[in-house]
Structure 1
Amino acid sequence: MQFNYDEIKEETIQGRYVTHKEIEGFLKTVPGIFPIHLEGESVKGVSIKSMVLGSGDFKILMWSQMHGNESTTTKAVLDLINFLKGNSELATLILQSCTLKIIPMLNPDGAMAYTRVNANEVDLNRDAQERTQPESLVLRKVFDEFKPDFCFNLHDQRTIFNVGETAQPATVSFLAPAHDAKRSISTTRGVSMQLIVAMNQELQKYIPGQIGRYDDGFNSNCVGDTFQMLNTPTILFESGHFPGDYEREQTRKYIFISILKALEVISNKSIGQYAQDDYFKIPDNNKNFYDVLIQNVHLINPKYTPGSSAGILYVETLVDGDIEFRPKLEEVGELKGKYGHTTYNLLKTKDLDALRLETNFLNLVN
């Protein structure tokens, strides 16, 4: 795949707080050859729109911000649209081979409030069967009418995830959702696995060792599991942490690359070239990261047992239209096998001196 990411990145939309207003502004820039449809409204009456790109036989449905505070994939989808507006060979191939239907923001009320749930405090990804919420009804209506051949379910995951038993963050994670409690491999789930293998191989060129496999516990109330049960190959995309990238501007690039690779493989009819068994070679996600790990914390507070570590996680908090990352002490103890995106080992003089300058962290452990 050849592209200049700096040229196609949608620079007007950055950071973690992405709302309906930004999406509406972007949609106004989209050429008329890509029709925009009003699919329905949220609990608060905010429009939920889709865009159609291409006219090919392979129909692909993708939706983002089902959880309102998970905006990285939304940014990546806008980058994808910019790429497809170009005249590259790959863009032309995709538009001739595929029909994409994209819902860039399924939960605009949750996006505005920067919450996982919708305005009725319902997790839309646990509402696939009962469909009690207007947003759930919109997605299912689109699915039933569009009859996709593939579904891309686009999400963010927390900074706690690492890859396997390593100290590598799970910058991108994938899942071929189960379609039954036995987690058996149906034909459609197998296709999902093969597409994930293709994306994993591509991403290893950019972020080796930073791709994980999300937990495949079956839950029929989840949208991905439901669509897999309906015999549509479905893939869960999870945007995670890249070192130093709390705004997830690097991660959006890797999600864009993932989606583009999947579309290339579908367009080239080359899914069969990827071994299904290689899916299981992708390491599982584990939850072994803290945002900040303070080792030997007893050296600044003797109430802690010698050798103890303090694990701190950030709480993402919406303040005046910006997201603040407020530290919260999560755990103090031996914390063996745990990692920090930032680590202070207080046996090291430089780390001890550095921590004393970080009053927010220092106050939490004193």
Structure 2
Amino acid sequence: MFTFVEQKLTQMNYLSVFEKNKETALAGRYITLQDIEPILGKHIAKNEIQVIGNSVLEKSIYSYQVGTGSVKILLWSQMHGNESTTTKALFDLFNFLDSDVEEVKKWKEKFTFYFIPMLNPDGAESYTRENANQIDLNRDFVHLSQPESLLLMKIFNEFKPNFCFNLHDQRTIFAAGKTKNPATVSFLAPSHNEEREINEIRQKAINLIAGINKELQQFIPNQVGRFDDGFNRNCVGDTFQQMGVPTVLFEAGHFQHDYEREETRKYVFISLLSGFQVLYENDIVDNKIDDYLKIPQNNVCFFDIVYRNVKINYDNSKLITNFAAQFKEEIIGNQLVFNAYVSSVGDLDGFYGHLEYDAQGDSYQDENDNFPKINEKANFTLGKNSKFVNGLLKN
């Protein structure tokens, strides 16, 4: 059992630290094993990188371990192959941990970090949530049927972490509570039982999230969300929490006009650093459940694009309505493309668009019809002069 000694470090300038350590070789949303292996290579001489297992398709799964401290932190990313923002933030963090600044020296004395930067390389390659067997690894912790799930459980049992960070991306549909603000970063202290009780283990995760949120509010005020805490024993976070290790779910979400999530990676990076700082200073001993519950729960109320006050022909009648489009992330020619499809038609009361157009009564028309149809590509005209291609107004 470890014990904390309360310590203080000089307040970091998180934005400056990010800019100095951003890994420029990684950008965008489509991050594969081929992208990260050359970067991992520069750490091999330090014996910090190991191949710890293989995916279904025999791709290498790597770990990066650094630090000699008694407080052990296990972090893994891209458990879902199409969720890469936190992977970028980890490589930014690796650069920082390679530096000789005072904070890093102190952290390496107090912590041992064990990173798995890409748990699902097959899913990363195909840009899918599932692995090559079409199994969601984050729903496989009862059966442990997949090599990637078995590997994570093996590392958990061997490393014996004191804290776990479960790193993911979330969709653009979420707002931070009943606001018009996107949930740029969201958190969850998973439940350890059906009753959602708060024991000593979950309380530590709650206190840690409260500390991270306090820091994030300086950078993205009112854009931090909290996930629903319904218990699911199939999920890794709920499992590890039930097994007695405080576990925090990180969800990288949407920042205004940032579909490549280059801004969001910055706030994930800040979240990680501030989380380590909270642990270093032992600022998790007080009950911060009230602060945690003040973080607004994620609310599904966003579409990518909303078109309002559109005139359409329906049953030989003309009416004014609204419709929305959502981007689907599709791999075409080894490139990630955002393609807009019609996703909803109706009053859209209580829903917002990350981008909105007011048609002011102009008529809808596309190549096939005068009515937007669900799942059709969002290519159409409004009135005589406004042509939309892939959901966006073409100049």
| TM-score past 0.5 threshold | yes
Partner letter of residue 135 of structure 1? E
Task: Work out which of the residue numbers 21, 27, 38 in structure 1 matches 2:40.
Answer: 27
Residue 88 of structure 1: how far off its partner (Å): 1.5
Paired residues, what number?
Answer: 360
User: Which residue of 310, 313, 320 corresponds with 1:302?
Assistant: 313
Decide whether aligned partners of structure 1 residues 175 and 355 sit closer, same or farther in structure 2, where only a CA change above 3 A counts: farther
Q: How does 1:123-162 map to 2 (within 5 A)?
A: 123-162=136-175
Structure with bigger gyration radius: 2
Counterpart of 2:337 in structure 1 is 324
Give distance in 2, aligned partners of 1:19 and 1:225: 27
Q: Distance in 1 between matches of 2:254 and 2:361?
A: 26
1:36 counterpart = 2:66: no
Does residue 356 (structure 1) correspond to residue 393 (structure 2)? The answer is no
Q: 2:198 is matched with which residue?
A: 185
% identical equivalent positions: 48
Gaps of 5+ in 2: 1-11, 363-380
How has the CA–CA distance of structure 1 residues 34 and 59 changed in structure 2, closer, same or farther, with 3 Å as cutoff? farther
Structure showing the higher strand proportion among its residues:
2
CA distance change for structure 1 residues 160 and 354 in 2, over 3 Å: closer, same or farther?
Answer: farther
Give the alignment partner of residue 94 of structure 1, picking from 104, 107, 112: 107
TM-score under structure 2 length normalisation: 0.88
Matches within 5 A, 1:186-335: 186-272=199-285, 275-298=288-311, 301-303=312-314, 306-335=319-348
Deviates more, 1:175-184 or 1:21-30: 21-30
8 Å CA contact retained: 2:310, 2:361: no
User: Does the CA contact (< 8 Å) of 1:34 and 1:53 recur in 2?
Assistant: no
Q: Aligned partner of 2:310: which letter?
A: V
3-state DSSP of counterpart to 1:256 = helix
Task: Answer yes or no: is the 8 Å Cα contact 2:307–2:322 preserved in 1.
Answer: yes
CA distance in 1, matches of 2:276, 2:335: 33
Once residues 354 and 243 of structure 1 are traced to their aligned partners in structure 2, the CA distance between those partners, rounded to angstroms, is: 30
1:263–1:166 CA distance, 2 compared to 1 (3 A): same
Distance change (3 Å), C-alpha of 1:266 and 1:354: farther
Aligned to 2:7: none
Give the partner amino acid of 1:96: E
8 Å CA contact 1:356–1:362 kept in 2: the answer is no
Spell out, residue by residue over 1:270-319, the C-alpha distance to the aligned partner (whole angstroms, 9 max, x if none): 22257232100000001100000001122xx2338744211111000011
Aligned to 2:13: 2
1:359 CA displacement: 2.9
Q: 1:53 aligns with which of 41, 62, 66?
A: 66
Deviation, 1:348, is 8.5
Alignment-mate amino acid for residue 294 of structure 2? K
Report the alpha carbon displacement of residue 68 of structure 1 after superposing the two structures with TM: 0.2
SS at match of 1:302: strand
Opposite residue 322 of structure 1, the aligned amino acid is Q
- Structure 2 distance, partners of 1:86, 1:232, is 29
Cα deviation, 1:205-250, whole Å, max 9, x if unaligned, reads 0010100001111100000000000010000000000011000000
- How much has 1:184 moved relative to structure 2? 0.6
**Deviation at 1:153?**
0.2
- Kindly provide the amino acid, as one letter, of the partner of residue 93 in structure 1: K
In structure 1, the gaps of 5 or more residues are none
Give the aligned CA root-mean-square deviation in angstroms: 1.9
Q: Which amino acid aligns with 2:243?
A: L
Q: Which amino acid aligns with 1:143?
A: F
Structure 2: distance between partners of 1:147 and 1:21: 30
Paired residue secondary structure (2:53) = strand
Q: Scaled by the length of structure 1, what TM-score is found?
A: 0.94
Does the Cα contact within 8 Å between 2:208 and 2:284 map onto a contact in 1?
A: yes
Take 1:24 and 1:281, find their aligned partners in 2: how far apart are those partners? 40
Q: What amino acid is aligned across from residue 324 of structure 1 in structure 2? A: V
Q: Would the aligned equivalents of 1:355 and 1:361 in 2 still touch at CA under 8 Å?
A: no
